[in-house]
C-alpha cells in the first residue's frame, strides 16, 4: 500500500498524474498501466460514491498511488477514503486556516489528529492494523486546495498549518471565484496563481496544479510544481476519438 507517495511529494519530486472521473474499474486499471506516477480519483465531481471507490482502488491493486479528492473537506468522507486505501486525500475548497487545520486532524491518528480507528482495506482488513495505525500518520498525504480567491488571500497563514503536505491549485474554480469562469489565463487569475506559487516556494511547500492538457501544465513542471495533473480520463478518450476521426475523414 505504501508507495512512498508522501515522501516523494515532500521531496518535491515531479509526480505526473491524471484525473479519474469514471467509476468503471477498467478505466483506472488501464491508466495504472500507462506509466503515471499517481492517479487523482475525483470523488468531488461526477458520480463517485464511497461504494464506487472500493472497486476502483481494488482494480489499481496497489500498482500506483491513488489519491482521492473527497466530496467535501469533512471528517466522514476523509475517513472513508483513507480506510478504503487511498494514499492521501485532496481536500476541496479549503479557504481558511480553520478548515485546513480540521482536514489535517481528520487525516491523522491520535495524538496528531482524531482519525477514527477501524477495520478496513487500508489495514488489510485488520490483519495489519497495528502496522497501519503506526505508519499512516507518516505515509498518508494531506493535500489542500487553493481554488477560491478567499483561499488565495489566506495562503500565507494556510502554508503555516502543521501537517499540510501540498497545496493544489484548482485554476477553474479559482477563475470562477474571481468572476472569470474558465479564464485560467486571465491576468488576474494568473496573478493569483503566481501569488500562491511565491508564498509556497518561500515556505518550501510543494505545489500541484490541474490542466486539461500537457500544454496547459508543462509550464508548471518547469516552475518546480510537484503534483502535475494533466487531463481527465473521459476527456482524453474524447480527444483521441476526435483526432482519429479527423485523420480518417481527411479528403
Ligand atoms: C479546478 O481547476 O478548479 C480543479 O479543482 C481541478 O479539478
- ipTM (interface pTM): 0.98
| Residue owning the nearest CA to atom 6 of ligand 1 | 170
CA distances from 178 to 146, 182, 194 (A): 13, 10, 15
Q: Is the pLDDT of residue 1 over 60?
A: no
- Between CA 58 and CA 161 the distance in angstroms is 33
Mean pLDDT throughout 31-35?
A: 97
Mean pLDDT throughout 201-225?
A: 97
Q: Is the pLDDT of residue 250 over 90?
A: no
Residue 125 region by backbone torsions, left for phi larger than 0, else alpha for psi between -120 and 50, else beta = left
| Residue owning the nearest CA to atom 4 of ligand 1 | 170
Strand, helix or coil for residue 20:
strand
User: Does the beta carbon of 44 sit less than 6 angstroms from any atom of ligand 1?
Assistant: no
| Residue owning the nearest CA to atom 5 of ligand 1 | 170
**Would you list the domain boundaries of the chain?**
5-248
In DSSP terms, which residues pair with 17 in a beta bridge?
Answer: 38, 229
Q: What is the fold of 5-248?
A: TIM Barrel (3.20.20)
> Which residue is it, cell 490541474?
210
In this predicted structure, what is the pLDDT of residue 3?
72
User: Does the beta carbon of 173 sit less than 6 angstroms from any atom of ligand 1?
Assistant: yes
172 C-alpha to ligand 1 centroid (Å): 5
Model confidence over 85-104: pLDDT tens digits? Answer: 999 999 999 999 999 999 99
Amino acid at each position: 500500500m505504501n508507495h512512498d507517495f508522501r515522501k516523494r511529494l515532500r521531496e518535491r519530486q515531479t509526480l505526473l498524474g491524471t484525473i479519474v472521473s469514471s467509476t468503471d474499474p477498467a478505466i483506472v486499471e488501464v491508466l495504472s498501466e500507462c506509466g503515471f506516477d499517481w492517479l487523482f480519483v475525483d470523488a468531488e465531481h461526477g458520480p463517485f460514491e464511497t461504494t464506487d471507490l472500493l472497486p476502483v482502488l481494488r482494480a489499481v491493486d496497489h500498482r500506483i498511488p491513488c489519491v482521492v479528492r473527497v466530496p467535501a473537506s469533512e471528517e466522514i468522507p476523509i475517513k472513508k477514503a483513507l480506510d478504503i486505501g487511498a494514499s492521501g486525500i485532496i481536500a476541496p475548497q479549503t479557504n481558511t486556516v480553520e478548515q485546513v487545520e480540521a482536514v489535517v486532524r481528520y487525516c491523522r491518528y491520535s495524538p496528531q489528529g482524531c482519525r477514527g480507528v477501524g477495520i478496513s482495506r487500508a489495514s488489510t482488513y485488520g490483519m495489519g492494523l497495528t502496522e497501519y495505525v503506526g505508519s499512516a500518520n507518516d505515509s498518508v498525504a494531506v493535500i489542500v486546495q487553493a481554488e477560491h480567491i478567499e483561499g488565495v488571500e489566506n495562503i500565507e497563514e494556510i502554508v503555516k498549518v502543521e501537517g499540510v503536505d501540498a497545496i493544489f491549485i484548482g485554476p477553474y474554480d479559482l477563475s470562477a471565484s474571481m468572476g472569470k469562469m474558465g479564464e485560467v489565463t486571465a491576468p488576474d487569475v494568473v496573478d493569483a496563481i503566481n501569488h500562491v506559487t511565491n508564498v509556497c516556494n518561500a515556505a518550501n511547500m510543494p505545489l500541484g496544479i490541474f490542466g486539461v492538457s500537457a500544454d496547459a501544465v508543462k509550464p508548471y513542471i518547469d516552475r518546480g510544481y510537484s503534483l502535475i495533473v494533466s487531463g481527465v480520463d473521459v476527456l482524453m478518450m474524447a480527444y483521441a476519438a476526435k483526432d482519429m476521426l479527423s485523420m480518417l475523414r481527411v479528403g
